Amino acid sequence: MQDFQKGLGVGAQVKPRHYKVVAQYVPVSFDPENAYDISTVENDNDIQHGNLVAARWIKPPEKRAPGQSVAFLLISFLTAQDANKAITKGLYIASKHVPVHRDQEEPQRCAKCHKYDPPHLARDCKAIHETCAACASIHHKTAECAISNHDEFKCINCKARGHAAWEKSCPTYKQALHKLRARRPRDQLPSLPAG
């Protein structure tokens, strides 16, 4: 790769492809920013040193529930073989065997209007008001919503009560996910294709 990069000229960079998986129910005592913890995962799972290139919690630690003991971890491998081995056999992390699945792309939901179709970012949103993802109100932002009772949530997408716009049980989310999977059938394979 270095020879190829030199041939491209000054300033050119070739970035290696990383293969992402999700480790489930990982003890929160694991520190993905600690080189020793990463090295221990490589050793415990017979992964060549340096092939586990990155790890981070999917949900920020400050947003965890009080007393939460496990969380989901996004892991990037340098090779598809290591990622697929993790998917097939699971991983030992912080002395616990945890299941692993490939990272799946999810439908893009706007952070302003919370719509899936057409896919867009909040900065490109044409909606006049920011909508609350919890109760569908245009009078306050999601972070300012006073509703905490799940039964009182109202989805802006399907208009149903009992769930918020971010929930995967929403029929509109399921429809957007189905459309995304139809466009990318390779993503439905249980393992990661190499190359």
Q: Are 106 and 74 in contact (CB under 8 A)?
A: no
Res. 119 pLDDT band, cuts 50 70 90: confident
Cis preceding-peptide flag for 66 (omega within 30 of 0): no
Residue, of 178 and 73, whose pLDDT is higher: 73
Would you state the structure tokens that stand for residue 176, as one six-digit string?
């957007």
Question: For residues 168 and 157, what is the distance between their CA atoms, to the nearest angstrom?
Answer: 12
Task: Considering only residues 12 and 138, tell me which one the structure prediction assigns the higher pLDDT.
Answer: 138
| CB-CB contact of 87 with 191 (8 Å) | yes
Query: Which fold is adopted by the domain 2-102?
Result: Alpha-Beta Plaits (3.30.70)
Q: pLDDT tens across 61-94, in order?
A: 988 889 999 999 999 999 999 999 999 999 999 9
Domain boundaries, the chain: 2-102, 122-184
> What pLDDT is attached to residue 55?
96
Neighbouring C-beta atoms of residue 170, cutoff 10 Å:
21
Candidates 60, 49, 97, 56; CA nearest to 76 is 56
Q: Is the pLDDT of residue 11 over 60?
A: yes
Q: The pTM is what?
A: 0.65
Tell me, what's the pLDDT at 191? 65
The residue type of 66 is P
Tokens in use for 106? 């999810």
Q: Quick one: pLDDT at residue 88?
A: 94
pLDDT band at 2 (very low <50, low <70, confident <90, very high): low
Give pLDDT, residue 65: 86
Instruction: Report residue 117's pLDDT band, with 50, 70 and 90 as the boundaries.
Output: confident
CB contact burial 135-167 (16+ within 10 A = b; e otherwise)? bbbeeebbeebeeeeeeebbbbbeeeeebbbee
Chain segment 20-42, per-residue pLDDT in tens:
999 999 999 999 999 999 999 99
